[in-house]
Amino acid sequence: MDTDAIARAVTATGQAVSEVAMEALAELRRRVQSVVSVTDEVLEPILVALVAGGHCLIEGIPGTGKTLLSRTLARCLDCTFTRIQFTNDLMPSDIVGSSVWRAGEETFEFLPGPLFSNVVLADEVNRTSSRTLSCLLEAMEEGAVSVDGKTMSLGTPFAILATRNPIEFHGTFPIPEAALDRFLVHVELGYPDAASERGLYRARASEASLEQLKPALTREQLVLLQATVPTVQVSEPVAEYAYSIVQETRSDESVALGVSPRAAVSWLVAARARALIHGRDYVLPDDLKALAVPVLSHRVFLKGGGSALRVIEGALERVPVTL
């Protein structure tokens, strides 16, 4: 679907787009949770990132379903999917692709790498070198890569679902602050609750359930939803509320780096996507509050290190909602 067609569809459908979002994404959520034990608090920010056209960093210890969750989402979206297992020796050409010489045709032919896909699982992204990570960051920022002096588009939609193990440090590299900023949302997968885990023991293999899944949202529908997100309205009082939260993070004495203007804009984009998912064409403070931690916590850095969760939650408690 080209840009003009998307624009015409957005103008023509109006409220119908919200109805598609509510129905299709509700079904997608149900299908994902039929395979993976994941709470709405974790799943919704990931869906928000997909609808907003952003990328997601999924953090959790081994065995909590990070990879399975990513594969399940891709299957429910009816999009092309690839998985990249990041290692220390992975080179940029391993993920972008390379040109090979065709002797019979006397020319080079570019063979695209796994980045050329709608949904890319970047498994254990903190295991790769800075050179390969920079290549991934270019793709995340531009939706394109540079090959032999030419810029090549990665297609639409394009989403990176990156995973990271927070407790393993051998053979890993720290992800720079600028790299973390490329992820629209950051979610943490913990152990499932007791009832869900016991149900997991009794259920059939997840792979069998995954193979039987059918797409709940087409590629064209997802592109249309992404194009509709900018049309969701943000009122002046809502913008003022967001600014007050941002200022609170910057004035906290324990904070070395508060929420940047770009991070604040990303927060509003995510809030627009959440409003659309819930069938509204306007943002509420509740949208901002629901996404404050997954969108902002990995963009706030404390002087002594550690999680910024307390800072974000404290700002939400101190700033009143006055509309």
Domains of the chain: 3-229 (3.40.50.300), 232-323 (1.10.8.80)
Residue 160 in 3-state DSSP? Answer: strand
pLDDT exceeds 90 at position 52? yes
213, with CB counted inside 10 A (0-12, 13-18, 19+), is middle
- How much is the mean pLDDT over the chain? 85
Looking at residue 211, what is its pLDDT?
A: 77
The owner of tokens 């869906």 is: 47
* Among 302, 316, 307, residue whose Cα is nearest residue 267: 316
Looking at residue 77, what is its pLDDT?
A: 87
**What's the rounded mean pLDDT across residues 284-303?**
94
Give 21's contacts (C-beta < 8 A, 6+ positions apart): 51, 225, 228, 276, 277, 279
* Among 236, 246, 240, 237, residue whose Cα is nearest residue 267: 246
Q: In the structure, what pLDDT confidence band is assigned to residue 307 with cuts at 50, 70 and 90?
A: confident
Q: What is the pLDDT of residues 186-234, one digit of tens each?
A: 998 877 777 766 666 665 556 667 778 888 888 888 998 999 999 999 9
Kindly report the pTM of this predicted structure.
0.87
**What's the rounded mean pLDDT across residues 273-277?**
93
Q: In the structure, what pLDDT confidence band is assigned to residue 150 with cuts at 50, 70 and 90?
A: confident
Q: CB 31: neighbour CB atoms within 10 A?
A: 21
The owner of tokens 């993920």 is: 95
88, with CB counted inside 10 A (0-12, 13-18, 19+), is exposed
Q: In the structure, what pLDDT confidence band is assigned to residue 62 with cuts at 50, 70 and 90?
A: confident
